[in-house]
Structure 1
């Protein structure tokens, strides 16, 4: 009821700006404070993400197994699991999970779909915590600024320029102008702030190229969630963030961009 009154009083664009203005300083502050505040914040966010994902993909958020899978993944950081022990626990959890799933007459396809989403969220959260624990706090902040610039550039370019649709069957509101606007904004912001927020990439063209790559992943993450929401026939993953929907709606770009950034580190690029 309160949310409906808020939406009546403010436009969706105003709500997005107000929510971002409140959240961004808080998120930057928590990241800057580091452990244990950052860890508590991110772990709480991960369980909220799994809550939304479970409710969307399973129709219930009370199933304990997605949270257990996330706990096991984060155990690689906090409990010093070996890779062998992690795989053993994971296979045991998946084996136990599938029993009530089949008993409820759910399809194997839905089970696999839900597990992929759970592992994706868990791995992305793991990488975000890994960045900070390994002294890459500024690098993670740079990733966030690139993603925020991409999201903002896409939103305002799409709203004010419009034009041909990017993927009308998946997300009717997304346009090619928004796609290009997001990439341009991310490359400009990434190149300008890269000198101050990270030291992995030295030249401006390296920072611009990685910003371009992260912006592409940001757009892809947004489109992937749109595909998933269309599959499950839901408009938003939740309603906790005015103007944005659920936490998964807000972090869809960040999750894939963080995963993609982690891949660059693994490959040494």
Structure 2
């Protein structure tokens, strides 16, 4: 498969516009980062509703967004247990509301959990400790973005056998391997460069490899969901990328893995 220079240029231009806002909000932390995640929740909720409930996307999207934002704010103020409870009850409420409007209750409920779980964990990672929170959040972005970008570049340049043609006909095994290697290197580099307790370069590489695998899985999972709903992209808000969900599908899975790694480090007393 030939490398599509024009497509890459459009993707790069979109990244140049969007990345600074994400980087600055992540650096600032606190309310700025929470505002970034809240805004993302709103966009993701309506993209999910457009896919899963196209006839009632405004009302279902509003219900899903309300559930997500409530849980994220609870996590931001340090109430993680409450945030998780709100996610469960928010999913139930969104499902019941969707059913009352004639949409699929399970799709709306799943949307709250699918989007909300990683968003709450991302808030937890960033707010856990000022310095370490920043480092672990940077690790998430570095691994997920590296895996995603290199998977696309290697797959486009090398081509070869398809990874899962039934759901994602453009993804190849070469891109999959390239993404895993990139994530492992990014994890090792971040752990070696940043002061992250005893998470050295070796274990950073292991965590990066695992998170890169989750990134690939998240991308494939969203491809399967889009096939189920009969859409090509989750949206069209980002030129060259489709919707926001198309851009962060792998990141959402990577957050869960990195947060689990952070919990293990905390349990072992290997970092603050």
Q: 1:198 to 1:50 in 2, by over 3 A?
A: farther
CA distance in 1, matches of 2:94, 2:18: 38
Match in the other structure for 2:110? 116
Q: Which runs of 5+ in 2 are unaligned?
A: none
Match in the other structure for 1:241? 238
Match in the other structure for 1:27? 22
CA distance in 1, matches of 2:80, 2:120: 15
CA distance in 2, matches of 1:173, 1:238: 19
CA distance in 1, matches of 2:86, 2:32: 30
Q: What is the DSSP-based 3-state SS (H/G/I as helix, E as strand, rest coil) of the residue aligned with 1:173?
A: strand
Residue 49, structure 1, aligned to residue 44, structure 2 = yes
CA distance in 2, matches of 1:158, 1:89: 37
Cα deviation, residue 265, structure 1: 2.9
C-alpha contact 1:69 1:119 (8 A) present in aligned 2: no
Q: 1:219 to 1:234 in 2, by over 3 A?
A: same
C-alpha contact 1:170 1:223 (8 A) present in aligned 2: yes
The equivalent position to 1:230 in structure 2, one of 214, 220, 227, is 227
Q: What is the DSSP-based 3-state SS (H/G/I as helix, E as strand, rest coil) of the residue aligned with 1:238?
A: coil
TM-score in terms of structure 2 length: 0.85
> CA offsets, 1:156-190, max 9 Å, x none?
10000000000000100000000001111121222
Q: Please show how residues 133-148 of structure 1 align to structure 2 within 5 Å.
A: 133-135=127-129, 136-148=133-145
Q: Please show how residues 1-269 of structure 1 align to structure 2 within 5 Å.
A: 11-59=6-54, 60-63=57-60, 64-78=62-76, 83=81, 87=85, 90-91=88-89, 94=92, 97-98=95-96, 101-102=99-100, 104=102, 106=103, 110-135=104-129, 136-267=133-264, 268=267
CA distance in 1, matches of 2:248, 2:165: 22
Q: Which runs of 5+ in 1 are unaligned?
A: 1-9
> CA offsets, 1:68-95, max 9 Å, x none?
3213322432566684797489548725
Q: What is the DSSP-based 3-state SS (H/G/I as helix, E as strand, rest coil) of the residue aligned with 1:36?
A: helix
Q: 1:19 to 1:87 in 2, by over 3 A?
A: closer
CA distance in 2, matches of 1:148, 1:92: 30
C-alpha contact 1:229 1:236 (8 A) present in aligned 2: yes
TM-score in terms of structure 1 length: 0.86
Aligned length: 256
CA distance in 2, matches of 1:83, 1:224: 27
CA distance in 1, matches of 2:123, 2:29: 10
Cα deviation, residue 219, structure 1: 0.2
> CA offsets, 1:197-229, max 9 Å, x none?
351453322111111000000000000000000
Q: What is the DSSP-based 3-state SS (H/G/I as helix, E as strand, rest coil) of the residue aligned with 2:170?
A: strand
Residue range with higher mean Cα deviation, 181-190 or 44-53: 181-190
CA distance in 2, matches of 1:75, 1:55: 24
